[in-house]
Amino acid sequence: MTSLPWPPVPILMYHAVEDAPRPPQYKHFYVTAAEFAGQMRTLKSSGYTPISFGTLAAARAGETPLPPKPVLLTFDDGYANLLTNVHPLLRSLGFPYTVFLVSELVGKTNAWVAAEGYDPTPLLGWPDILAMQADGGVEFEGHTQTHPKLAELSEADMRREVTDSKTALEQKLGKALSTLCYPYGGVTDRVAEIAAEAGYTQAVTTEFGRARHSDNPLLLPRISVYHTPYLSLTYGIGPLNFRWRLQTRKDTRP
Ligand SMILES: [Zn+2]
């Protein structure tokens, strides 16, 4: 079977999904549960079909065609509020989604933001992760051991962060991982090579754009989604901003 070219696929990047708005400096860390529910209703009513990374890989290999208007839903870091504000809603809609876990910080907090002056946010613990996995619809994938800037590490530390975290997560989850999320989107050719050597077949960055069929599967761009007040001088009208993001032709890649 030959693989037919795809239309560009939006891979949405979320972080936390909060019960209530946080102070303005946190806007890039979250959307509210109400915003998120509205966005999922938009996907449903606009005919989008959320798919998994496995489906994306199968389409790239020419094994199965993509459904009409495919989209991927990704959640970085594994915030504890996914349990109540994401999982039940996406299960009821039948939308698959992917959560990227930091292997040594499961059950702790996103402590790496403290260096930038932010208060830490709790991350999912193993009992909730395993219960969500058993319930279905969610795939947990890799986001290193401690959330470092990989490109700044020694070769040995890069390997430990990428490879050892993959092994540790696979043991806990009882399944093989396929997809890596580079912390801060930081990736160099060497980092991507180490990801491939570790056995990752796909990886996502924070470059802004829709994923194309011709993309290196270890350098997939995403579309960030973050808190947008209903009327924002910077981002316009919340729901319209989301629709623009889904269809954007903007691409920050070189
Ligand atoms: Zn992260």
Q: What is the mean pLDDT of residues 218-234?
A: 87
For residue 202, the CA-to-ligand 1 centroid distance in Å is: 16
For residue 4, the CA-to-ligand 1 centroid distance in Å is: 32
Lowest-confidence region among 22-26, 51-55, 229-233: 229-233
For residue 154, the CA-to-ligand 1 centroid distance in Å is: 20
pLDDT value at residue 233: 72
| 19 belongs to a structural domain | yes
Do residues 110 and 123 lie in contact, with contact meaning Cβ atoms separated by under 8 Å?
Answer: yes
Please tell me the pTM assigned to this model.
0.95
pLDDT category, 252, cuts 50, 70, 90?
confident
| 110 belongs to a structural domain | yes
pLDDT at 4 over 70: no
| 253 belongs to a structural domain | no
Q: How many domains does the chain have?
A: 1
Could you list the residue range(s) of the whole structural domain that residue 190 is in?
9-248
For residue 183, the CA-to-ligand 1 centroid distance in Å is: 5
pLDDT at 3 over 70: no
| 105 belongs to a structural domain | yes
Report residue 251 as tokens: 């691409």
| 152 belongs to a structural domain | yes
| 4 belongs to a structural domain | no
pLDDT at 2 over 60: no
Lowest-confidence region among 1-5, 63-67, 128-132, 153-157: 1-5
Please give the angle made by the CA atoms of 67, 140 and 79, to the nearest 5 degrees: 110
pLDDT value at residue 24: 87
| DSSP secondary structure string for all residues of 69-138 | SEEEEEEEE-BTTHHHHTHHHHHHHT--EEEEE-GGGTTSB-GGGGGGTPPP-BB--HHHHHHHHHHSSE
For residue 3, the CA-to-ligand 1 centroid distance in Å is: 32
For residue 184, the CA-to-ligand 1 centroid distance in Å is: 6
Cβ < 5 A residues, ion ligand 1? 76-77, 183
Taking only the tens place, the pLDDT of each residue in 47-65 is: 999 999 999 999 999 898 9
Q: What is the mean pLDDT of residues 198-219?
A: 95
For residue 106, the CA-to-ligand 1 centroid distance in Å is: 13
Location of structure tokens 């993309």: 215
CATH, residue 90 = 3.20.20.370
